[in-house]
Amino acid sequence: MKIKTSLLAASIMLACTPAIAKITDSTFPLVAGDPLVSQQWHLQNTGQTGFSQSAGVAGNDLDLDFTHLMGIKGRGITVSVIDSGVEIDHPDLRANVVDGSINLGDGSNYPQDNNGHGTSVAGLIAATEANGLGGRGVAPHANIVGFNYLPNQTVGNWLVAHGLSEDFRQLDRFTDPRVFNQSYGSTPASPRIHDYSLDPWQELQDTVYQDITEDSHWGRGSVYVKSAGNSFEVYNAYYRGYRILVLPYENNQFFNNQGLPFHNANIASDNNNHWNLVVSALNAEGKLSSYSSVGSNVFVAAPGGEFGEAAPAMVTIDLQGCDAGSNVAGEHGNALHGGTELDPNCDYTGTMNGTSSAAPNTSGAIANLMSANHALNARQIRHILAQTARKTDAEHPGIDLTFENSEGELVTYNAIPAWQQNAAGYNFHQYYGFGAVDVDDAVYQALFSPTTALPEQVITPWQLQTANTEIPDASLTGATSKLAFEQDVTVEAVQVKLNIDHTRLRDLAIELISPSGTRSILMSARTGWLGTTEGGYTNTLMLSNHFYGESAKGEWQLKVIDTDKGSSYTLGYHAALGLVGFNRENNAENGVLKDWSLRVIGH
Amino acid sequence: MKKVFLIVAFAVTSQFAVANNADQFKGLTITPVDQLESNQSEVVVNDKTFRTNGANKVVPGLDVFDESGFNAYTVTGEIIVKLSGDVDFEQFNKDNDLIIKQAYKEYYILKSQSNRDLLPLVDALKQLDGVSSVTLELADKGVIQK
């Protein structure tokens, strides 16, 4: 009955809206019935505080009011939460839990969450709507299954959590997941080698991602959503078995990285394999969250918030009780926490954040999109998201890096470009991919714009280009190599495999320029590598979504620029080691761009 | 001292994104990495040398890190076997206390049921006809919630 009422209301709205206005640009109130929903700025940002000490800027949200008004809320779509576990009997979640959850530790069907992270993630996706409890999910009618993979990481458990069930059946039932949320990842301190012959586990992972993306659910496929990482300013890594905090250091200042991202989402193997849809995080002002990793492999951005004290984080469910999860008894900088009148049992939190939150907000958005049109396949979902993403933080100027070159002159390099429009008309920013997820525009397109099937996808063979070109130290000149690409393919994504000798990788900026002249930063200068792999980048894979829709035919250029003659370096800290300095000496010899390979995923 | 404890908490227990504070490091001296001492043991896994904090038997649960020191892993006890032909694991698994955890295309995931040294087992698997490669799984300790 509720659905019918919603559809009727939406029809009236459609009929009454002048033809020149875009219905999805109007603002409709969200239905009542959840006491915390008014503080869930990511659903509808009115400038509320989210129980923090400052307010966001109205309008910077997922834009889903029209979608919810239409009654499109994820019905019939199952989202898998691959995380610390999920408290599936949480009163604000259990109505949406379906069979399929697995405790990967003991084999039972209760995915015990001893941390709370996965439970909060699940709440962002599909907390129940209008039940008088807490807030609601982005897709409050979607189904949820959970896996406590993070405390039980083995290859067998990875396969089960990512879609290959223990009884080896195919994903073809309505209750099998069509969206896999992965709010986890790693931040490697040295480059990964992409070589299946050395790493069958990587080959197996990529094969599963591809198979389920393309072939599950009778060919409609599933979407894997992945958090970009929380390493814009610092990151954690292991050194000799110790888990250290890694931070930049320049001009005798801790955390000084010239405003540039300290780490890059393009580093981790599961972030650059194309099958994962990588999401960066936005705060309540519509700008990049202070911690969010970025890179050319980011597809879209979604709300992740800040820390929930000085500025809003996410309001979502928490482990039940005031002795578990993020919200526990006692004083706290977030006004929801500590057993307050609105939440006396501490079942909700106002401090969930991270790209861990941006990913489930995107997963929920995708569930809505799929439920609007169940016939859409995984590629069409990506296509619609790219076409409808919103240009958030539109005035972001990019970042110029000024450094002293080898001649002693100060020179300036545009290290992070402002928003660019590629030759196919897509806006792209290193921080935000195609932009902020806009659920209403995406759903509207799925419903009312005829979506023709995309031509069959092709993945071209790797094309190798030998360069053996020296990279001048601290110079804008850089090393440039050109590759002539003959296949007439429309780009969906481009992958590059690099071999570069250089002992201080944090000095290097790596750019790829398309035949149409679009310049994409594959790896930004001052990325906080601690070390090299076999003397530099060795068969290191990087991905760019920046060229979406462009023709791949023509001349591609790779440019590598050394931006530092040794003034910056990287620190690691652990109590047992103290403060340890890495990369303290400049490279004694100029680096060399040895060779690179390129392949196109497109049609 | 309190400041140091706070930094340690950052480095060891951070589950969510956290705010940073440069004051925490004031007064600490920076040691060049090449001056750190090392007294660890070596093991060879998957044809690569790894270091351990003393252990030299490769058993499930062992933590290892690579020669650069930048990558840390846990031995899970699972073995990734890639096949090039038909293999009958039944007798082999019975003799070696292994189970098949998963099978997918040409990949089999075997799991050791005991706390035995896994390297001889890997060598024995490599000798089976129809086996293309055998990889002892090393779970990346850097994979955490993001």
Q: Does B145 touch chain A (CB under 8 A)?
A: yes
pLDDT at A166: 62
Out of B15, B72, B139, name the one closest to residue A115 (CB). B15
| Residue whose structure tokens are 């004290």 | A309
User: Largest alpha-carbon pair distance within chain A?
Assistant: 74
User: Please, what's the b/e burial string for A517-542 (b: 16 or more CB within 10 A of its CB; e: otherwise)?
Assistant: ebebbbbbbbbbbbbbbeebbbbbbb
Domain that holds residue A584: 458-602
CATH of the domain at A137: 3.40.50.200
Out of A159, A240, A353, name the one closest to residue B102 (CB). A159
Asked whether residue A160 falls in the same domain as residue A283, the answer is yes
Asked whether residue A383 falls in the same domain as residue A467, the answer is no
Asked whether residue A443 falls in the same domain as residue A467, the answer is no
**CA A250/CA B26 separation, integer angstroms:** 15
pLDDT at B10: 36
Subunit contact A117:B143, Cβ cutoff 8 A: no
Subunit contact B82:A200, Cβ cutoff 8 A: yes
Catalytic residue (choose from A83, A176, A441, A501): A83
Out of B72, B101, B142, name the one closest to residue A187 (CB). B142
Question: Which residue from B minimizes the CA distance to A159?
Answer: B102
**CA A487/CA A553 separation, integer angstroms:** 6
Chain B: closest CA distance from residue A227 (Å): 6
B-contacting residues in A 204-223 (Cβ below 8 Å): 204, 207-208
Mean pLDDT of the region A384-405 = 97
List, for residues A556-567, the tens digit of each pLDDT value.
999 999 999 988
Q: Does A150 touch chain B (CB under 8 A)?
A: yes
Asked whether residue A560 falls in the same domain as residue A589, the answer is yes
pLDDT at B17: 58
Q: Does B118 touch chain A (CB under 8 A)?
A: no
Asked whether residue A180 falls in the same domain as residue A301, the answer is yes
A123 lies in some domain: yes
DSSP-assigned states of every residue in B2-65: HHHHHHHHHHHH--S-----GGGGTTPPEEEGGGS----EEEEETTEEEEESS--S--TT-EEE
Query: At residue A161, does pLDDT exceed 80?
Result: yes
List, for residues A180-193, the tens digit of each pLDDT value.
999 999 999 999 99
A416 lies in some domain: no
List, for residues A128-139, the tens digit of each pLDDT value.
999 999 999 999
**CA A97/CA A559 separation, integer angstroms:** 49
Residue A503: name the closest of A569, A557, A580, A406 by CA.
A569
A250 lies in some domain: no
**CA A571/CA A229 separation, integer angstroms:** 19
A73 lies in some domain: yes
Q: Is A83 a catalytic residue?
A: yes
Q: At what angle do helices A355-372 and A117-126 cross, to 10 degrees?
A: 30
CATH of the domain at A495: 2.60.120.260
CA A503 to each of CA A113, A190, A383, A482, A532: distance values in angstroms, whole numbers, following the listed order: 42, 11, 39, 24, 7
Subunit contact A354:B146, Cβ cutoff 8 A: yes
Strand partners, B52: B41
Asked whether residue A443 falls in the same domain as residue A512, the answer is no
Asked whether residue A107 falls in the same domain as residue A125, the answer is yes
List, for residues A298-311, the tens digit of each pLDDT value.
999 999 999 999 99
Mean pLDDT of the region A332-359 = 96
pLDDT at A246: 95
A448, A480, A515 - which closes a domain? A448
Question: Which residue from A minimizes the CA distance to B54?
Answer: A241
pLDDT at A563: 97
Asked whether residue A68 falls in the same domain as residue A201, the answer is yes
**CA B50/CA B70 separation, integer angstroms:** 11
Query: At residue A224, does pLDDT exceed 80?
Result: yes
A57 lies in some domain: yes
Asked whether residue A462 falls in the same domain as residue A319, the answer is no
Residue A546: name the closest of A375, A265, A303, A295 by CA.
A295
Residue B68: name the closest of A534, A600, A542, A580 by CA.
A534
Asked whether residue A122 falls in the same domain as residue A197, the answer is yes
Segments of chain B with pLDDT less than 70: 1-19, 37-39
Asked whether residue A443 falls in the same domain as residue A525, the answer is no
Query: At residue A375, does pLDDT exceed 80?
Result: yes
Share of chain A above pLDDT 70, in %: 95
Query: At residue A13, does pLDDT exceed 80?
Result: no
**CA A280/CA A371 separation, integer angstroms:** 24
Question: Which residue from B minimizes the CA distance to A151?
Answer: B144
A240 lies in some domain: no
Query: At residue A142, does pLDDT exceed 90?
Result: yes
Cβ contacts of A578 on chain B, cutoff 8 Å: 28-29, 31
Asked whether residue A165 falls in the same domain as residue A196, the answer is yes
Chain A: closest CA distance from residue B14 (Å): 9
CA A538 to each of CA A52, A499, A557, B70: distance values in angstroms, whole numbers, following the listed order: 45, 5, 19, 16
User: Largest alpha-carbon pair distance within chain B?
Assistant: 64
- The domain total for chain A is 2
Out of A207, A241, A253, name the one closest to residue B65 (CB). A241
Q: Is A263 a catalytic residue?
A: no
